[in-house]
Chain A
């Protein structure tokens, strides 16, 4: 006769426990030694940079923020400073804080799994690896004078001239009147969020009862903003579109 599987509670109690001293402390100790060793070797072999004294009258070209902010500096190509420099960082921090409150999937708590939470893994990995790390690598190695794009084998020519031929989206659609362009931009941008939200809510309508409407609205709009950044990058690089929505106060 086969034995019935042990109830969950029972399994929890049976998880093998070991003493922290010595099993964990020895790993921490080894880790610390290796880290300090690497840091010391690194510090002996490579000197921290020190350029000439600060001079407010001599602007270097290119002027770059510290490397960890270069992803944000790079989206300045595609967005105005109020978004790339202020709203985007705030949204990143707020979005990260909200993650545990928006992701209510009970599976995958405390172990590696892809199949049980594909969507969450995709969103985070895309945001971290592409929108953050990849843009930083680009900003550090491929952005030269004038913030122009240079391949690694190309000379950083400070006199490189790149024709600015980008136009706003309403203009590309043949709209010449200022007010109509404003209206068109508003419809496109707001429409993107409204339609995106509506499609998501319709497709996931069964989940609304369990997950909650506020959660789902927040989740889809944060994801839409993330996708929107990519859309804007593609529009600029592939179609030379500068702004989608131009208003007297801000441009998107």
Chain B
């Protein structure tokens, strides 16, 4: 009984496959049928209606979308793409913001010099800072435009009233995110813009030490009023810097993120993106 001779690959045959390009198809098939591939991806990629549905429904990142939608809602003329762009800009500030956090200390003595270090010594530090700041400014504009579009299309009308309310909070938090970030460079622009902004809280009725009716509330003074709660003192100093840093990097992003989840979820639950009936 003679042992079966080992199969010798036919070089000429392989070369023919390489030349004709058929080899790529075979390699692709080998990869997509491997155990690693099939365990990672839950459906095929062939353009079939079933796969189009699965592409959305079985993907954690895409499943916020419905699998089917009205054709009219695809029109840029209808949505201006502004909600999506706002969310993308938010994600950009999260990514660049985390990188900036590696180099920045929210301490009176260090903050400004960390900014200088970021700009002149850290590789791509200036670019990260620019992207963070411009994305934040752009986000303020796009969120206003998104709101304007939603108003003009009457998309706050039943059953979407509650999502409009969430949206109003998100606009407010966008402004607060930008405002708290404004102080962090700890330069003249930052300190005085925030001084002007927070000075308004002095005039809070009842709770600000220069506000109407403050004389009727016990204990309101320049050191203990609505403004001092905000900035941790009677002037915009190091405590304000630390307070704004924590609000900017932790508190407001968490709250805004939670509201975004509700906002996106409600779009689906309220019957998808608005449109003519």
Contact = CB atoms under 8 A, between A and B. Distances in A.
Interface of A: 8, 11-12, 15-25, 27-28, 31-32, 35-36, 39-40, 42-44, 46-56, 58-60, 63-69, 72-73, 80-82, 84-87, 93, 96-97, 99-101, 103, 105-113, 117, 120-121, 124, 128, 132, 249-250
- 10 closest cross-chain pairs (CB), A and B: A85-B200, A81-B203, A110-B274, A100-B161, A43-B130, A54-B191, A250-B212, A108-B154, A48-B133, A82-B203
Given A27-B74, A35-B88, A86 B203 contact: yes
Interface in B37-88: 49, 52-53, 55-56, 62, 65-71, 73-74, 76, 78, 81, 84-85, 88
14 contacts: A22-B52, A27-B76, A27-B81, A39-B135, A43-B134, A50-B116, A53-B187, A54-B186, A56-B235, A69-B175, A81-B210, A105-B157, A110-B274, A111-B153
Contacts of B205: 82, 86-87, 250
Contact of A55 (B116, B140, B175, B188): B188
Contacts of B221: none
Contact of A46 (B74, B130, B182): B130
A23 B53 CA distance: 12
Contacts of B191: 54-56
B89 A35 contact: yes
Contacts of B213: 249-250
A16 B73 CA distance: 11
A68 B178 CA distance: 9
Contacts, number: 232
A69 B171 CA distance: 13
Interface of B: 49, 52-53, 55-56, 62, 65-71, 73-74, 76, 78, 81, 84-85, 88-89, 92, 112, 115-116, 119, 126-127, 129-135, 137-138, 140, 144, 148, 151-158, 160-161, 164-165, 168, 171-172, 175, 178-179, 182, 185-193, 195-197, 199-205, 208, 210-213, 235-237, 274-277
B138 A39 contact: yes
A43 B197 contact: no
B134 A53 contact: no
B186 A53 contact: yes
A45 to B, nearest CB: 9
Given A27-B81, A47-B126, A100-B161, A109 B154 contact: yes
B129 A48 contact: yes
Nearest to A44: B127
Given A111-B153, A249-B212, A21 B187 contact: no
A51 B74 contact: no
A183 to B, nearest CB: 19
Nearest to A128: B148
B154 A66 contact: no
Given A27-B81, A99-B156, A46 B168 contact: no
